[in-house]
Structure formats: structure tokens, C-alpha cells
Homo-oligomer: A and B are copies of this chain.
Amino acid sequence: MKIVEKIKLPIHKEMELFEEKFKDSMASQVPLLNRITYYIIRRKGKQMRPMFVFLVAKMVSSGKMTERTYRGASVIELIHTATLVHDDVVDDSNRRRGFFSINALWKNKIAVLVGDFLLSKGLLLSIDNDDFDILKLISIAVREMSEGELLQIEKARKLDITEKVYFEIIRQKTATLIAACCGIGAASVDATSEEIEKMRIFGEYIGMAFQMKDDLFDYTDDQIGKPTGIDIKERKMTLPLIYALNVAQKKEKEWIINSVKNHNRDKIRVKEVIEKVKTLGGIEYTTNKMLEYQQKAYDLIKDYPESEYKTSLITMVNYVIDRKI
């Protein structure tokens, strides 16, 4: 059994029902919109985010779930889909999950509007049902995602970026939505505000670890295939490189900066930079940081009684760290 299927096992019925509800949540009077959302649904991803909502809800409430949990999951997936559609415009990308992106098939104009539509549908789903705690969690996530992307655009190509700024970027860009998933899961079963906040931070830690894993792919051959070196080519500064620059001797540091600045399209030079980052301990440092966040996430749920939901959540956290893609 594939790992994702295994994680899904205790909530597979809920996930099936969710798909129906999610589909309904996108309905519109505009035929063009319905054609586009139909296309989106057919090419759906692994739906990790709704899974977080359901598993956290069930873990904190010993297996209970409510209509609000379904709505919370739909809101998250609507917002996530909206940001993917906008991201493809932002990155001028033609592909998404092996299929053509919305902007490739229907142009940027329509993709921006579809993103805005999905965003407002997500918000209205919460508003119409007075789910104000869910609404707040998701609105903060929307703000932080756009701020995080813009902070990345502004800072991530500067060679003097600090570790602190790196963590702020990945917290906002990636971790905030997984944090919202877990917070919303807890909020949907009437957890106390302390517990909602605890679960929100649990999700944030997972999100941070997830992004560090992603950034490590550029430097390691863990995954299928070789280190990609794409980030170096695009002069995107991530933790392995930031750490390496921090500990490098003056000469080494100058060589790395010169390489990233002026030779970032030279494949052999990029490979040498990757080797240098390894030698200086950038991979090890980032891996340790990632495991630290993983451990902090575990610690936050250790007092919950054992259950199939908790087991699935732990498997999911492990998967975030061990995945090959």
C-alpha cells in the first residue's frame, strides 16, 4: 500500500464525502467557471491539506468530526487551489501536476479571475455558516502567504540574507497554510483557543520541516535523480547555502559568492558549489534543523492518547521528512 493511502485509511470515508462537498463548494452560475473548476477537480493532488484538517480534528476530539470540519477542509482546499492558480500566473508556468495549468489553457486574464473567485468562495463558505474562527485562521494564512512570497522575491536573491529572514520566509510562504489546516481541524470540533493555537503551531513546525526538506533536494541525492542545483541557478538562497556562507573562511566565502553571482549558469561550477556546501556542513545543519522542527511537532501531540488518527498524523509527519519527491 502506498504511504499516502495508509495515512488516509482511518479517514477514507470522510475523504470521499469531502470530495463531493468540495466539488459543490465551487459551483457557479457562470458556465465557463464550471468548466474550469471541473478541470481542476479532475487533476487534483494528494489533498494533504484536508487530510491534516480531518486527522487533527479526530485526534483532539477522540474520533468526532462535525459539518464544520468538512467546511474547514473545503475552505482550505479552495484557498490552496486559488493560490496554485495564481502561482502559475506568477511563475509563468505552463504545467501543474503533469497537466496544462489554467493560465496555459485559458490565459492569465482568466486565471487571475478564477483565483479571485475561488478565494471569495472559500471565504463565503465560512461567512455563510458563521465559522468566524475558521475565517480568521484562513485570512491570516492568505495574508502571510502573499507577504512570504513577496519577502522571498525581495530578499532571497540577496547574498547576505540571514538565517532569521530565511525562517521568516518559509514560515509565511509555506508553513502558514499547514498551520491553518491544523488550527482549523481543532477549531472545527470546538477545541479551546489554547488547543487551537497549539495545533496551529504543530502545523507550522511541520510546514517548516516540509520546506527545509524541499530546499535540501537542491543539494542532496536523496531523491530520485541527482541534486538539482536549480536554486543556485536561480540565485535563491536557502538554508544549506546560508549556513555554508556563515561558517566559511573569507576566501571560501568570496569564491561561493562569486560562483553564485557570476557563474550560476555554469553546471560544473554549480556542482562544485554543492560540494562546498556539503563540506562546510550546510546539509547536516539543515537536516538537523529539520529534525528539530519535526521533534518539536511530535512533542506538541505526545500527550494525546494513542489512536489510529494520531498514528496517521505521525506517519504523515515522517513522510514529510522521508519523501523522495
Contacts and interface: CB of A to CB of B under 8 A. Distances in A.
Interface in A16-66: 28-33
User: Which one of A128, A145, A150 has the highest number of Cβ atoms from chain B below 10 Å of its Cβ?
Assistant: A150
Contacts of A136: 124, 127-128
User: Which one of A33, A92, A123 has the highest number of Cβ atoms from chain B below 10 Å of its Cβ?
Assistant: A123
Instruction: Place the interface of chain A in its size category.
Output: 35 or more
A90 B117 contact: no
A120 B149 contact: no
A28 to B, nearest CB: 6
A112 B86 contact: yes
A194 interface: no
A116 B135 contact: no
A150 B91 contact: no
B90 A151 contact: no
Given A90-B109, A109-B90, A139-B127, A114 B150 contact: yes
Given A127-B132, A135-B127, A150 B117 contact: yes
A112 B90 contact: yes
A123 to B, nearest CB: 5
Interface string A109-127: 1101111110111011001
A91 B116 contact: no
B109 A30 contact: no
A296 B147 CA distance: 43
Contact of A154 (B31, B83, B142): B31
B117 A146 contact: yes
A300 interface: no
Contact of A146 (B90, B120, B142, B147): B120
Please state the number of chain copies in the assembly: 2
A153 interface: yes
A171 to B, nearest CB: 12
Given A90-B113, A154-B31, A124 B108 contact: no
A143 interface: yes
A31 B154 CA distance: 8
Given A30-B147, A91-B109, A142 B119 contact: yes
Contact of A124 (B33, B91, B140): B140
Nearest to A123: B139
A75 interface: no
Nearest to A91: B109
Nearest to A126: B139
Given A127-B132, A127-B135, A116 B89 contact: no
Contacts of A33: 147, 150
A304 to B, nearest CB: 29
A148 to B, nearest CB: 9
28 contacts: A29-B147, A29-B151, A32-B151, A32-B153, A33-B147, A33-B150, A83-B116, A86-B112, A86-B113, A86-B116, A89-B112, A90-B109, A109-B153, A110-B153, A112-B115, A113-B150, A116-B119, A116-B142, A116-B145, A116-B146, A117-B143, A119-B119, A123-B139, A124-B139, A127-B132, A128-B136, A132-B132, A135-B135
